[in-house]
Structure 1
Amino acid sequence: MKQKIEYDNLIPINAYLWCPKPYPQPLHFHSSLEIGYCRGGRGQFIFENKLYEVRKGDVFIVNNTELHIAQSSMHDPSQYIFLNFDPSLFLEENEKLLLPFAYRSERFENHIAAGTPLSQQIGLLIQQIYEELNAKAEGYLTITRCKLLELGVILLRHYRSTFSDEQWMKMHNSKREIEEMMLFMKERFQEPLQLTDVAEHLGWSTARTSRFVKEHTGISFIAYMTQLRISEAKKQLVTSLDSIAAISFSSGFQSLPSFYRAFNAVVGTSPQEYRKQFGVKQLF
């Protein structure tokens, strides 16, 4: 199950308290990156085929593709501070900061054990970020961003030491390939782009391209292209007075009926109703 993350701040980061249920919940994933710090209690943290016992002070690293969920102990419920943040916050500063999150599930240790200098250092930063975002004192977004980048550097240095040079280089190259793939799709989504076009551009097989799209976005190639096109259509509906048909085709849809079907399925309303609610005419 994919969770939709909405950010409550002017930069794409959330910090919140969470107490998991004491019974099994569905596994989920989301487009944001996530770091959790256990403030107290006990329980379990499940990552697909991995299970970690949880105690106070533990830290957990979650990327944007791996299914996961936490569960509290019945008699000693676990309590966390979680950070959710968009990968762009690291990408804009230094793309290497994303490498600790570019892992394959079965080979990655998501757990940083309580009582270690590393978990204590990360836990302190997470608590400080949480306090800054809640207090909202002057300059809080700046200091929040700085502390998140510091956290990213700490994770980069830690995980770099756990991989061989060959493994690290493979991760680095893989991340670069994914970024090229995503950029190509974002630049060409208004065209009748096919999966085979992306594969040909990258020199990959269609099977590999399809797998990488699903791993990185959490959805299929077709669903992701639809998402990009709907996002563009929503922008045009709000900011222009162009006809629905013109917006449909300029957003990359090949027919008006397919645009209406996709828009209703994704947004939950018609393009006309969306424009009526949010369009430029509402400003006057």
Structure 2
Amino acid sequence: MNKQQIRDYLLSYTDTERSALSQKSDPFNIETNEELSYNKTLDHAISKNEKMRDFLNDSQLLIVKHARFSSLPPHSHDYIEMCYVYSGKIDMVINSEKISLNQGDFCLLDTGVIHQILDTAEKDILINILIKREYFSTKMVSKIAHNSTLSKFAIDALSEDQKHNQFIVFETVNHEFIEDAIFGILTHYLEPSIFSKEVIDTYMMIIFSELLRSFHEKKVQYYQSHNQLYIGDILTYIEQRQGNCTLSDLARVFNFNSNYLSRFIKKNVGKSFIDLIQEIRLNQATTLLRTTDLSIEAIIQQSGYKNINFFYKKFYAVFHESPKDYRKRLQQLGDSL
């Protein structure tokens, strides 16, 4: 399917939308003021929807278009829901708080949170990506955070915000890029072919990475507007220099006392400045081991280590194998796929 065919699909009326337009009964046949559980809400849809049955049984990802010209009563469910506004405006009530989402916005809903979607009109197109929790952690979070201290920190901060609020709204800064990724997912989801699953996984990682970037930039703007130091700025500075900086360098750049900065890093990251530098350098080393044919000696040098024995000691302490065995194991794993 090309982009125009995807657009036509999203704009076309579903049976549920035709029913709503003809003023028939509620598509779920439920009183709108009833607080509903996950299974209650979907009982009527599941029996007629093979993809929904597959998702509940063993699939990890389901994509559905929300039915326009109707509302969805308060409900909760046991999967993570990622809502994307393709066009128009979507009004939701989440934990009794009214939220308005505009075109390009995402809303990430945790499991168990009570939410409802208010009346929608012709141009209000909402795409719901339903995600099993195990998919969210193994396919997306773990891979994105694999080699970046900043990504790990952003994901932890995101998790804390979601744990506190049970939902997060992302006002995306690169709407066209996100839209292209959504088109890519829908193309392979609606007309699956060989490797479609892998392509969808990749697009999902791209989307989540963009949402993380949006979340990080929003945090940066907030702290800057309040004239406060943001730990994300420090992590960005260190990672951009691949760990080749000192605490004195940081203190000078950010105009803070070295002792204060050391305590600030420990409080916000949970590790000392020295341990943080070692983590970033080891991340750089593992990236080079996986993606290049450079000699281990060259990798050690590019990762900022001057003492070879010290590098081997640190590497083994973290990965429980030598750099050579690490590279060999990953090469064998790649050959077996």
TM-score by length of 2: 0.41
Asked which structure has the greater CA Rg, the reply is: 2
